Structure 1
Amino acid sequence: MFEWFRILFTPTDEPEMTQSLIALFMVISVGFFVGKIKIGSVSLGVSAVMFVGLFLGHLGFTMNAELIQFVREFGLILFVYGIGIQVGPTFFSSFKKEGLIFNALGVGTVFLGGIITYLIHLLATIKIENAVGLMSGSVTNTPGLGAAKSTLIEIQKQLNLPSDHFADPAVAYAITYPIGVFGIIILIILSKNFLKIDLAKEEVLLQEKNKDSENKIVRQKCRVTNPDVFGKTIKQVLKEFNIKDVIISRQKHSGTTVVYSPSLDTILEKKDVLMVVAKQKDITNFIDCVGKVSTDLFIESENELTTKIISVTQKTATHKTLAQLDLYNQYDVKVTRVIRSGLEILAQPSLELFYGDTLMVFGNRQAISEVEKIVGNSKKILLEPDFLSLFGGLIFGVIIGSIPIIIPSLPVPLKLGLAAGPLIAALFISRYGGVGVIHSYINNGAIHFMKDFGICLFFAAVGIKAGHGFYDSFMANNGWMWIYYACYITFIPLTLLVIISRFVFKLNFYQMVGIMSGSYTDPAALSFSTKYLDSDIPNQSYATVYPLVTISRILVAQLLILLFAN
């Protein structure tokens, strides 16, 4: 009677679509459960899905060949696109100042790992596809593995080679993946001990270092006491003292309780109280020139005028500058700051608004309600998924990844592939707010779901496929030697990164740990480091290097396959 139920959960070499889906769902659900199990303060997280897939694949569970390829590629695309959308706004700005050093260290680590991989291929006579699998696993880089597999499939098609001509790099990847995860964690602990790091001192040094470059937008009250500015307009004062990037959101005359939003032509009088919005260093500079810090409470009154947060959801307001919207002159409403992907930006007239931006405005309640009609502020629309933008962006990414780059002597053209293409598309879409009808806004919950869902699909497909004959492959290829070789790829570049970061560039330990995790694109190591150091500071340098490192690892994996695959 329940024969149909038994068939669904029985391993078979030629599964039907329903059996394939059951295997996929089992791997993901059990993998998530296993990933939450902690050993000390370390857990495998979503990467446990791959190991569960290996185990079930070893037991005989499999998926339809076409379905498993689709699931693998689609999952990878969703994952890298979500990463690009998330870090895009900060990626380009990170190239200022230390960002260049961070990325140079990260990319240098990638290429050194590629050189070591080639030497292992040469000296240990390991097939290049297995060597690339070793490299991808020992640095926990999933997109690199995806790019390698796509390149091998492309070569097979172009040269009419049999499907089993090349070894599956996913086997070596799965064997060496734990080395990548735990290797970084071990080196973080060892470097802290050997360098004798005082975490409290490191945090203080970093705070002092970032004091002048702090990007957070704050507000502070100022009392006008400098006689040189009495009777002058705000515009004249800013020009005379060469003060930039400052917004005066409120003004109150001495002895009154009336608060209003001043224009640049408003005259400053003796003992006026101003609410200044800017970066802390710019506020300090302004107050030093105009007067002193004020403790007046009336200027914060919300009786007639109020502060409100509204979101840009009206298409007619997107890709227009604040000067073009001219909200102050039309409605007497002043925008003081714009929040975009978690970043606070000072509301300069030349600032272009993107769909999903959050504006902090100050003005009359009724006037603000009129501004809402222009800007949108529909929370419901922001919660609804815009599939046109999502899949339009994915199409854009697949097109970029499919562009052939012809290089003489290579058997097939070099392509960015389904890993780097969507990542680059997402970076540029998020940087410029969109392309045509495609916009970059995706709420945080949707981004996290897309990333986790995508990487689960990829890990499940890779694990199930590699699980078949995994034990035989491990024994036939002397898997313990593969783990031994993987240690070179894991530890040598990372050790050099620590030495150069600390002794050449004098980087802060918190930043260095973020670069270490980002260079190996290892979220498990990042999660460990934030708990181990009890700080979120490593997240910043991790996000700075992640996109360029990911693209570099994809290209290095492809080049090794194209140049040395037989």
Structure 2
Amino acid sequence: MNQSLLVLFLAISVGFFAGKIKIGNVSLGVSAVMFVGLYLGHLGFSMDAELIQFVREFGLILFVYGIGIQVGPSFFSSFKREGLIFNALGVGTVLLGGIIAYLIHLIANVKIENAVGLMSGSVTNTPGLGAAKSTLIEIQKQLKLPSDYFSDPTIAYAITYPIGVFGIILIIILAKNFLKIDLPKEVTLLQEKNKDSENKIVRQKCRVTNSEVVGKTIRQLFKEYHIEGVIVSRQKQSGTKVVFSPSLDSILKDRDVLMVVAKQKNSTKFVEIIGKISTDLFIESEDDITTKIISVTKKTATHKTLAQLDLYNQFGLKVTRVVRSGLEILAQPTLELFYGDTLLVVGNKEAISEAEKIIGNSKKILLEPDFLSLFGGLIFGVIIGSIPIMIPSLPVPLKLGLAAGPLMAAIFISRYGGVGVIHSYINNGAIHFMKDFGICLFFAAVGIKAGHGFYDNFVANDGWMWIYYGCYITFIPLALLVIISRFVFKLNFYQMVGIMSGSYTDPAALAFSTKYLDSDIPNQSYATVYPLVTISRILVAQLLILLFAS
């Protein structure tokens, strides 16, 4: 046991160091742990069989659960507007890769488990590999086959993994040159396209100059002009320096200055109705009322709507925005609050202090790990992954497994803020640790196990031919993705690069592209396609094994 742990820690520590070494702008990152594990296994280092299986599966669960919690809040909203096109392109790339892997199995007479390993490595998709291995183990148990009946797909995965990392980077560079991309022009076009984006929340000062609205209450104004999605957080009457947080019954007077919070489109419409943009500085004064950020940490506020909390009538406070997992949401009365949400409130200091007694705002609690929610969520994910889905003609029932199950559970939990005593909040530092630690455990375990006889397997299976086959899986879907994205959907190059990286679930390619293009724009489309692509790759890997493993 001590030797097993020593080998595991050695693979992770050396691999993590090796992953920081850069070749140009590219580094292997945590995937270097797998290659160090392969080398250690090749040298004869080994781990206890039961321990290595536990480490591999536990690491995979932590990794995919962390991903789900991180991207869950944006998952369902990603199917709106362009997100639907982005996800269609990503899933299409997955399906095409699966078809090519099947054709390699059929034409080149490569065993299907090796073809799935080639597919997962060529697109750097670790959850797909994990799903394939779990499915093979399930078939072995159900049909009582010997443990070495199937080939280990990790060998093919490890051989083609570098092709996946560097192949997508090569396509990004070639696409930029062949398409003759003018980067400044692409940025300008994207800014023009998004200048009236409905999702961007802005804070705007405006002055009442329209005589038709003078004397009306804010409630009357909203009703008569059909104004929605606008929050008036501050009001200052002309000729005074007194700033207050208005109610819906507050009367608008000529030359009043208002501070409004709304999505860009609604804000522009509101300003056009009441008058003009203001440059008044007094309305931003913190003397009479102040702005404070409060975090939801008490049960008295969790899973209640802002209307139910009724902070304005109780304390004279206005909530203008809610930040959830990095997403900024307009504070509508019907918005349900989740544990860990951050509220931006406007009001006097004494009232804010009173409201904190209901909302919580305990930074200490948010920093402390809630193991009940974490492991409760993991149990929920394992249960979902273990539910059998009976499909006729398949040797064993289809299951989401330890890859897709925790991912789906995390997305569900983060979408609805929790299930019972399980809540979705995990601070960013803990999420990054959980993901990196989980993937390090997984890479180290599969690397050490696959390292035994790696060279012999490479020679026996003609590893250079596997690299050749992997190139088909890497380059053909990417090339088609570039052509369809650019010439059919006319997508911006920055967005296209994010879809390419997300479709191959390749953080190394994303890191390269943000530095190569000197922009964070690709991050947005990467995050949009990542969850659905990951689930698709897991299911495609499982189906190929279940349908064609002999």
Distance, in Å, in 2 between the alignment partners of 1:460 and 1:28 is 6
Residue 494 of structure 2: aligned partner: 510
Q: TM-score, normalised by structure 1?
A: 0.97
In the TM superposition, residue 215 of structure 1 has moved relative to its aligned partner by: 2.0
- Per-residue CA deviation, residues 381-404 of structure 1 (Å, 9 max, x unaligned), is 000000010001111111110000
- Superposed, which structure 2 residues align to 1:271-286 within 5 Å? 271-286=255-270
Name the residue aligned to 1:385. 369
The equivalent residue for 2:182 is 198
Q: Given the alignment of the two structures, is residue 547 of structure 1 paired with residue 527 of structure 2, yes or no?
A: no
Looking at structure 2, the residues matched to 298 and 534 of structure 1 have their Cα atoms a distance apart, in angstroms, of 38
Give identity over the alignment, percent.
86
Q: Give 2:408's aligned residue.
A: 424
**Which residue pairs with 1:304 in the alignment?**
288
Q: State the Cα distance separating 1:281 from its structure 2 match.
A: 2.0
Quote the Cα distance in structure 2 between the aligned partners of 1:477 and 1:298: 75
Look up the match of 1:13.
none
> 1:291 maps to which residue?
275
Correspondence for 2:217: 233
**Which position in structure 1 is the counterpart of 2:332?**
348
Structure 2 residue matching 1:353: 3-state secondary structure:
coil
Task: Give the aligned partner of residue 299 of structure 2.
Answer: 315
Q: Distance in 2 between matches of 1:316 and 1:254?
A: 39
Between the aligned partners of 1:342 and 1:324, the Cα distance in structure 2 is: 24
Equivalent residue number for residue 43 of structure 2 = 59
Task: Tell whether the 8 Å contact from 2:236 to 2:242 is kept in structure 1 after alignment.
Answer: yes
**How far apart are the structure 2 equivalents of 1:301 and 1:126?**
71
Q: Deviations over 1:489-531 (max 9, x none)?
A: 0000110010000000000000000000010101100110010
Match of 1:6? none
CA distance in structure 2 between the partners assigned to 1:257 and 1:548 by the alignment: 52
Post-superposition shift, 1:210?
1.2
2:145 matched residue in structure 1: 161
Residue 49, structure 1, aligned to residue 33, structure 2: yes
Q: How far apart, CA to CA, are the structure 2 residues paired with 1:210 and 1:404?
A: 44
Taking the aligned partners of 1:523 and 1:506, their CA distance within structure 2 comes to 25
Q: Deviations over 1:142-189 (max 9, x none)?
A: 000000000000000011100000000000000000000000000000
Write out per-residue CA displacement over residues 258-311 of structure 1, whole angstroms, 9 at most, x where no aligned residue. 111001111101111101111222111101100111111111111121100010
In the aligned structure 2, how far is the partner of 1:117 from the partner of 1:297?
63
Q: What is the distance in 2 between the residues matched to 1:341 and 1:275?
A: 26
Name whichever of 275-284 and 334-343 sits farther off.
275-284
Aligned mates of 1:477, 1:190 — CA distance in 2:
31
Distance in 2 (CA, whole Å) between partners of 1:277 and 1:48 is 46
Question: How big is the shift at 1:213?
Answer: 1.7
Give the aligned partner of residue 339 of structure 1: 323
Match of 1:267 in 2: 251
Specify which of 85, 102, 108 is matched with residue 124 of structure 1.
108
Q: 1:529 aligns with which of 510, 513, 520?
A: 513
State the match for 1:176 in structure 2.
Answer: 160
Q: Residue 375 of structure 2: SS of its match in structure 1?
A: helix
Mapped to 2, the partners of 1:126 and 1:58 lie a distance apart of 24
Is 1:443 the equivalent of 2:427?
yes
SS across alignment from 1:317: coil
What residue in structure 2 maps to residue 185 of structure 1?
A: 169
- The residue aligned with 1:18 is 2
Which residues of structure 1 form unaligned runs of 5+? 1-16
Is the partner of 1:80 in helix, strand or coil?
helix
Give the partner amino acid of 2:510.
L
Match of 1:211 among 195, 210, 219: 195
Find the residue that maps to 1:94 and give its secondary structure: helix
1:405 aligned onto 2:427: no
Q: Secondary structure at the match of 1:220?
A: strand
Whether the 8 Å CA contact 2:197–2:264 is kept in 1: the answer is no
Task: List alignment gaps of at least 5 residues for structure 2.
Answer: none
CA distance in 2, matches of 1:316, 1:400: 30
> Which residue in 2 is equivalent to 1:134?
118
Q: Distance in 2 between matches of 1:154 and 1:428?
A: 26
Pair 1:184–1:121, CA change in 2 (3 A):
same
Of the candidates 226, 230, 251, which is equivalent to residue 242 of structure 1?
Answer: 226
Confirm whether residue 433 of structure 1 aligns to residue 378 of structure 2: no
Letter in 2 for 1:529: S
The answer to whether the 8 A contact 2:321-2:343 is kept is yes
Aligned equivalent of 1:83, options 67, 91, 99: 67
Q: 3-state SS of the aligned residue for 2:522? A: helix
Query: 2: distance between equivalents of 1:224 and 1:304?
Result: 21
Measured against aligned partners, the alpha-carbon deviations of 1:312-349 in whole angstroms (never above 9, x if no partner) come to: 00012100000000000011011111011111111111
Q: What's the offset of the Cα at 1:141?
A: 0.4
Stretch deviating more after TM superposition (431-440 or 208-217): 208-217
- Corresponding residue for residue 5 of structure 1: none
Following the alignment from structure 1 to structure 2, what is the Cα–Cα distance between the partners of residues 296 and 36? 50
Query: What TM-score results when the alignment is normalised by the length of structure 2?
Result: 0.99
Structure 1 runs (4+) greater than 4 angstroms displaced: none
Distance in 1 (CA, whole Å) between partners of 2:164 and 2:264 is 41
Q: Counterparts of 2:533 and 2:146 in 1: how far apart (Å)? A: 33
C-alpha displacement at 1:542, in angstroms? 0.6
> Following TM superposition, by how much is the alpha carbon of 1:221 offset from its aligned partner in structure 2, in angstroms?
0.9
Supply the distance in 2 between the matched residues of 1:259 and 1:96 (Cα, whole angstroms).
39
Partners of 2:209 and 2:28 in 1: how far apart?
A: 60
2:16 alignment partner in structure 1: 32
Amino acid at match of 1:334: K
**Cα offset, 1:251, TM superposition:** 0.5
CA distance in 2, matches of 1:214, 1:175: 45
Q: Distance in 2 between matches of 1:406 and 1:555?
A: 14
Distance 1:350 1:44 in 2: 45
Quote the offset at 1:214 in angstroms: 4.7
Q: In the alignment, which residue of structure 1 is the partner of 2:240?
A: 256
Match of 2:80 in 1: 96
Which position in structure 1 is the counterpart of 2:479? 495
